[in-house]
């Protein structure tokens, strides 16, 4: 078995984003207006993309969005590998001092293991509760 993390095109994330996160919405729902400005990462298992995440940098902050692992591959550590990779990427960039995300509330414990901390900012979208989490990477 070979595992590889590489940059991919936004288009290559759509299928997993849709299938894993919003299967009941149209495919367009998972396409972001600024997808072309993002840096998209895929974790490939034997050349097949099984986990994706997208990074958007604005000023000195990097936001990761649309983090999804194929349902049948969840819980095997692939998401952790991908998150560790993007933390490494932003930590090496001297212009970035913060990594943040809109975390689904049920994922806060997972992110806390990577040093992300909860802020007081919360909101709801399509019946899902979110909390903004962040990590200093300077
Ligand atoms: C969030 C998500 C991307 C994580 O990806 P993943 O590949 O399942 O991540 P991991 O396997 O590294 O970690 C998932 C869990 O398995 C555990 N785990 C990691 N490696 C493991 C291993 N080798 N053996 C057993 N468990 C393991 C982790 O500790 C984690 O536990 P937790 O959910 O209790 O915190 C994935 O669950 C997903 O796609 N969820 C649906 C979409 C979503 O919620 N996206 C995030 C929005 S904020």
**CATH label of the domain that carries residue 21:** 3.40.630.30
Q: Is residue 86 one of the residues assigned to a domain?
A: yes
Tell me the residue range of the domain where 44 lies: 3-97
Question: pTM here?
Answer: 0.94
Residue nearest to atom 20 of ligand 1 (CA): 77
| pLDDT for the residue 126 | 85
- Sheet of 128-136: strand order equals 3-8, 39-45, 48-58, 61-69, 98-104, 128-136, 117-125
Q: Is residue 115 one of the residues assigned to a domain?
A: no
Task: Kindly give the confidence (pLDDT) of every residue in the chain, 138 residues in length, as a single tens digit, with 9 standing for 90 and above.
Answer: 999 999 999 999 999 999 999 999 999 999 999 999 999 999 999 999 999 999 999 999 999 999 999 999 999 999 999 999 999 999 999 999 999 999 999 999 999 999 999 999 999 998 999 999 999 997
Based on the structure, what is the number of domains in the chain? 1
The alpha carbon of 80 and the centre of ligand 1 are apart by a number of angstroms equal to 7
The alpha carbon of 74 and the centre of ligand 1 are apart by a number of angstroms equal to 6
Q: Is residue 110 one of the residues assigned to a domain?
A: no
| pLDDT for the residue 52 | 98
Residue nearest to atom 40 of ligand 1 (CA): 68
Residue nearest to atom 27 of ligand 1 (CA): 75
| pLDDT for the residue 99 | 98
Q: Is residue 24 one of the residues assigned to a domain?
A: yes
Q: Is residue 62 one of the residues assigned to a domain?
A: yes
């Amino acid at each position: 078995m070979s595992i590889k993390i590489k940059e991919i095109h936004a288009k290559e994330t759509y299928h997993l984003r849709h299938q894993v996160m919003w299967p009941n919405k149209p495919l367009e729902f998972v396409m972001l207006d600024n997808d072309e400005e993002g840096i998209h990462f895929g974790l490939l298992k034997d050349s097949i993309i099984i986990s994706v995440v997208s990074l958007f940098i604005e000023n000195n902050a990097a936001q990761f969005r649309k983090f999804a692992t194929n349902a049948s591959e969840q819980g095997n550590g692939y998401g952790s590998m991908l998150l560790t990779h993007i933390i490494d990427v932003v930590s090496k960039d001297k212009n970035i001092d913060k990594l943040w995300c809109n975390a689904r509330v049920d994922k806060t414990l997972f992110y806390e293991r990577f040093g992300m901390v909860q802020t007081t900012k919360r909101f709801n979208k399509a019946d899902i509760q979110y909390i903004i989490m962040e990590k200093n990477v300077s």
